[in-house]
Each structure stands twice: as C-alpha cells, then as structure tokens.
Amino acid sequence: MLNSTGSMKTVATCSAAVLLALAVYESAAGDSNKSAANVNENSFLSLLVPKTIFVTSDQYSGDLVTEAAALGFLGSNGLAAADFICQYHAGAAGLSGTYVAVLSSSMVNANARLTASLGPYRLTNGTPVSENFAALFSATFGSEFSTPPTPAISLISGIDHDEYGWDVDSPAPDHTRLVWTGSTPLGEVPLFHWSGQSNRSTCSDWTEDSYDGADQPQEECDASLNVEYCGLVGLSSSKGARWTDYWYARCDSTQHLYCAQK
C-alpha cells in the first residue's frame, strides 16, 4: 500500500494520462465535437478530486429510520435514513458536497453507493485514508498460516476522525469505536453469514433497534439466537479488513456511521 506521497504521485500520474488522452481525442474529434469533449474532460477530472470520509461524532441504534426521524428525516428506507444522518453531520460541520453512509443492506452493497473515484480519500483533518475507491475496499485480513504467510493489505489510516476533525478513538474503549457497516471488507453484504440471510447482518435493513435473546453485553450479539437483531460493525481504529468487518453488535446498541463524500 502506498504512503501519502505515493498517493499524490499516483493521482498526478493519472491526471497527466487523462489529460493527454483527452487532448488526443479533442484533436481527432474536430471543432464540432469539442463541446462534448469538454463535458467528458470535466467528468473524468471530477473522478480525480480527493474525497472526504469521516465517522459520525454521534452514535445511533440499528433503527436508523427512527434515529433519522428525530433529525427531520421523512421516510422509511434504512439506507436513505443513514444518508440523511451523514448529510446532517456534514452540514453541521460545514463540509461541502454530498455524503452517503458506507453501509450495506440486504439489497444494496456499500461499494455500489459510493462514487468510483480515482482520487484519494482523506479524513477531515487531511490525513490520507486510501489511494482511491478501489483501495478503500481492498483491505484483507492476511494469514500467518498460509505458505508463504499472506500479509494483510491495509488502508493508509483508520477512519477514526469525526466531521469536525476530532479523533473518536482517543481515548476510547473498543466498544465506543464500533461503526455500523453491514459489510465485508469488499464493501458487500455478507450473504452467506448465518444461513445465507443477508438481513441478519443489517438489523433488518436498519429498521430494528431491539434484541430478542439472552442477556449479552451491548456490543455483542449471540449468533445462535434470533440474529435478525444483529448488525455487522467495523472498528474505526482499524487500518485492515476490520474497519468494516469486526464483529456483530446488538441492534439495540448504539454505534457510529462512516460517511463518504460522493
């Protein structure tokens, strides 16, 4: 994984290559097609613009519809509610642009909800997180038991700063660093977790805030019970695969959300 210097070099190289390709295209297209070429150029260049990603300063239960309604949301879709919450936090901090939650449901994967940006993702304090969209969803666990051992692929930095630029991990015990994701490290809902029922990783598609099971700590979920009352969470301090896939939390617990600029 490249460091921040490597990230900027990658962006610069991509920019040069794109501009050269567009110059050749415009030359061949002629005057009549230059307007269309300019539109294409702007579209390409927009993909190179750095994107901001943060973790919300507040925590929410697995029923994001009800949580968002308290902030003014009018609707019944869990992902739309999560996006509303992200935009609410971004607006409160004066962040420009449109923000969506890095969150999967049983029908939509988190990786399909973000712009496939060629530019880097960075925290609100400017710290680089990943080289681009692809690198954001390329973290792996690695394995010390394979031959040869497989090293983990990591992000440049954990997504541990909120919309105001504050570090939510310092100081904080692990259970306050958890983030609802419903996602594997690839940014996809884990279809084969627990008998293949994907909504069992997403608090019934982010409309559930109860727990019907044995007495468990708030940050844990008993997979042997009614696991539709569980949601997959990530760990904001993690630079590896656990940034999205750490463990399952009870839907009546409160966790953060990851919010990414589109």
Q: What is the pLDDT of residues 34-73, one digit of tens each?
A: 444 454 555 556 667 899 999 999 999 999 999 999 999 9
Q: What's phi and psi for 74, nearest 5 deg?
A: -120, 100
Per-residue model confidence (pLDDT) at position 212: 64
* Unique residue bearing structure tokens 């919300």: 56
Per-residue model confidence (pLDDT) at position 230: 84
What pLDDT, in 10s, does the model give residues 126-172?
999 999 999 998 877 765 445 555 556 789 999 999 999 999 876 65
Helices (H), the chain: 4-29, 34-46, 64-69, 78-92, 133-136, 203-206
Per-residue model confidence (pLDDT) at position 154: 81
Per-residue model confidence (pLDDT) at position 241: 87
Cβ atoms of 33 and 66 closer than 8 Å: no
Mean pLDDT along residues 65-83: 98
What pLDDT, in 10s, does the model give residues 86-127?
999 999 999 999 999 999 998 999 999 998 889 999 999 999
12-21, 96-105, 212-221, 238-247: which is most confident = 96-105
What structural domains does the chain harbor? 49-261 (3.10.100.10)
More confident residue, 215 or 61: 61
Per-residue model confidence (pLDDT) at position 18: 41
Position 250 confidence tier, pLDDT thresholds 50, 70, 90: confident
State the CB neighbour count (10 A cutoff) for residue 157. 18
What pLDDT, in 10s, does the model give residues 218-236?
556 765 555 567 899 999 9
Per-residue model confidence (pLDDT) at position 8: 40
Cβ atoms of 164 and 57 closer than 8 Å: yes
Position 17 confidence tier, pLDDT thresholds 50, 70, 90: very low
